[in-house]
Amino acid sequence: MTPSTPLPGPCTRGLAVALVVALVQGCATKPPPSREQIQAEALRDTTVPQSWSSQATQGAVGDNWVASFGDPQLDALVAEAIAHNTDLRIAAARMEEAAAQVDIADAQLKPAIGILGRASSKPLSDFIAMAAGAIVRLAWEIDLWGRLRYARNAERAMHDASGADFRFAQQSIAAGVARAWFVAAETARQQQLAEQMASDAQSLVGLAEHRMRIGAGSEDDVLIARTNAATYQDAARQVELAHAQALRALEILLGRYPGTAIASRSDLPPFPTTAPPAGLPVDILARRPDIVAAQNRVAAAFNRVGEAKAAFLPSLSVLLGAGRLESQSNGFEDEPRNTRSASAMVNAPLYTGGALTGSLRLRNAEQERAIADYGRLALQAFNEAEDALNAEQVLASRESLLQAATSDSRRVVGLQREAYRIGKVDLRTVTQSLLAASATEVTLLHVRRERLNQRVGLHLALGGSFDATPAAVLPAPADANAPAAGGRR
């Protein structure tokens, strides 16, 4: 039901006064909950400790973590990926979409002005006059209760969320490039090891054949040596395939054609000598862009609840018009005349079949979901940081143990090769020691790479930026009087 109260043209001044009064008395929108309030609600069943459970370095979380690996090639690759990665282009387009939605919502708060024009050559009939001319019309819904402002603020919050999502995508891409670069370096080193093992196995074939010629060996030893040599050569081909796949994965992240044209390191870079400061657990809720995005989505849901509540209240729309018309009737033309009009319309919803109530329930449920999602992401962030901090200690210990084991296993292989040459041990013993030495060295290489990966994961979990001068993580709070985020008209 829509009661309408037309106002005659001479009452334009009174209408203007009424509009001013309506604007002054219009209800202000409520600000969304603060980060602390969202944290308290989302983590109401969780006690966040004052310090990390795992061993951590004290101090504020730093940025520019890519440079900490001391690899100029990695620095250049990360910069290239940030400039050309296709996933980031998608995230940037989503930001533009969100900015456009802000402009659309902001436009609902402004008057809409248009021209209504009409022209005719003769009346439709002798009894119906045909008017010709143009009228400028202004239509404006006065946002008395904040419904339109809540809608605009919700879109601003979603725009801020998309911006935080974009920054998190940048950090994730930087981390992905670093990890792919380490995999390429690991497989390059594995190729060297596999080729060395294949060469060692081939030399055992020659030694077995020599022992058989002088009567100290047997044909069984020769066949075993040849089988082992073929197995190591096959392993070398498998590692070659893995290396090519690692290079293609890296090239995809860089936005390049996956043609294995990029050259990798021949070995893993050294592990950074200093541990990064981890700050406090609660700090990551303000630093990590994905958590900031979740916070903005809660703000958007809050504003949509306000929009749904305001929809229960009457709306006021104003229509103003002014123009010049001329008409024809019975073949006679009237003198052109100026025309003005002004009207106001109040729309008070009385019965909507439960649509408004259902919409409010939907928005309330969306807000609860957004808060729960914030809590889920926060716990996930805590877990990622704790895992990375714990892995720092465990992997450092494993690397130290495996380095000693690798050195010992290499010495064993050398001693047993000499023992086999003089007939003290059989070929199977030499082969087993060679396999054990190879497995230990490959495991050491994997642990070194995993340790680098965990350091990258720690930076990502703590919310440290890969850039030396990161953009501000937290956007300025939305203000009802602030300009539209997109800046477009």
Residue 456 has pLDDT above 90, yes or no: yes
CATH code matching the domain that covers 24-110+146-313+355-462, chosen among 3.30.930.10, 1.20.1600.10, 3.40.50.12140, 1.10.1380.10: 1.20.1600.10
DSSP codes, 242-293: HHHHHHHHHHHHHT--SSS-SPPPSSPPPPPSSPPB---GGGHHHH-HHHHH
pLDDT per residue as tens digits for the range 336-395? 678 788 888 888 999 989 999 999 999 999 999 999 999 999 999 999 999 999 999 999
Judge residue 387's burial from the number of C-beta atoms within 10 Å of its C-beta, 0-12 exposed, 13-18 middle, 19 or more buried: middle
Q: Are strands 4-7 and 112-118 parallel, antiparallel or unpaired?
A: unpaired
- Residues paired with residue 346 on neighbouring β-strands, in sequence order: 316
Cα separation, 424 vs 420, in Å, equals 6
Structure token digits, residue 47: 């006690």
Structure token digits, residue 457: 């994961």
Instruction: Provide the pLDDT for residue 474.
Output: 42
Helix (H, G, I), strand (E, B) or coil at 71: coil
| pLDDT confidence bin for 217, thresholds 50/70/90 | confident
Instruction: Provide the pLDDT for residue 333.
Output: 54
Cα separation, 466 vs 174, in Å, equals 7
86-100, 110-124, 299-313, 426-440, range with the lowest pLDDT: 110-124
Give 379 or 206, the one with higher predicted confidence. 379
Give 322 or 458, the one with higher predicted confidence. 458
pTM of the model: 0.81
Residues 6+ apart with CB under 8 A from 45: none
Cα separation, 100 vs 102, in Å, equals 5
Helical packing angle, 72-84 and 219-254, nearest 10°: 50
Residue 472 has pLDDT above 70, yes or no: no
- C-alpha pair distances (Å), 449 with each of 71, 455, 459: 15, 10, 16
- Among 198, 201, 185, smallest CA distance to 242 is for 185
Instruction: Provide the pLDDT for residue 328.
Output: 57
Contact criterion met (CB below 8 Å) for 61 and 463: yes
User: Domain limits of the chain?
Assistant: 24-110+146-313+355-462
Contact criterion met (CB below 8 Å) for 321 and 408: no
Contact criterion met (CB below 8 Å) for 374 and 293: no
Residue 125 has pLDDT above 90, yes or no: no
